[in-house]
């Protein structure tokens, strides 16, 4: 199965692939190179999302998309928290190319306030949390509206995570080997 690389100019998004840097919850890079791939079905939903956001003068910043199965094991081994991470034995929609982690940015590229940072593994990250500012609640609802109108499902515990409906029933778990260039460090 081939994945589509999300690159400019075809996809007008900013990318800050968190797991290719030490600026993630593990404190070290998980990926050897920052890449952004999606299954064709997810890429089509992303394109609809981009169009909807653009009509409001907004864009997206992507933190993660396809996550090789090997990377899911690294994350799970570090923090085996089923409230925020999929057990790799069950499979993550990220490892199917069917999920994306993102936020909205304004015309200047500044992230809209979402009340927490990406990968903040607390209840403050849950959709519908009323302990964040009204502005952050509005921004989350705006993101949720754009993404669901474009055909995405959401994960209730993470405001940044969107996935294709019923991904585990429709898409296989993929390893780093499916990519033209590996994302994972050499062992």
Cβ 103 vs Cβ 112: under 8 Å: yes
Cβ 49 vs Cβ 144: under 8 Å: no
C-alpha closest to that of 91 among 4, 16, 184, 163:
163
Tell me which of 5, 16, 131, 158 is the catalytic residue: 158
Known catalytic membership, residue 158: yes
DSSP, collapsed to helix, strand or coil, labels residue 47 as: helix
Cβ 51 vs Cβ 108: under 8 Å: no
Return the structure tokens found at 111. Answer: 């992230």
Show which residues are catalytic: 158
């Amino acid at each position: 199965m081939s994945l589509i690389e999300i690159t400019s100019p075809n996809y007008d998004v900013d990318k800050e692939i968190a797991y290719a840097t030490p600026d993630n919850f593990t404190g070290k890079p998980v990926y050897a190179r920052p890449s952004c791939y999606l299954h064709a079905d997810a890429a089509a939903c992303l394109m609809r999302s981009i169009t909807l956001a653009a009509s409001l003068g907004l864009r997206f910043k992507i933190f993660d998309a396809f996550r090789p199965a090997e990377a899911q094991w690294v994350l799970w081994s570090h923090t085996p928290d089923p409230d925020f991470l999929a057990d790799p034995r069950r499979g993550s929609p990220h490892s199917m190319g069917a999920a994306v982690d993102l936020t909205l940015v304004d015309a200047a590229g500044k992230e809209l306030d979402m009340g927490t940072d990406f990968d903040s593994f607390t209840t403050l990250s849950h959709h519908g949390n009323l302990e964040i500012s009204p502005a952050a609640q509005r921004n989350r609802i705006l993101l949720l509206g754009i993404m669901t109108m474009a055909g995405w499902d959401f994960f209730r515990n993470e405001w940044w995570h969107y996935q294709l409906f019923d991904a585990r029933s429709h898409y296989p778990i993929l390893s780093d080997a499916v990519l033209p260039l590996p994302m994972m460090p050499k062992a």
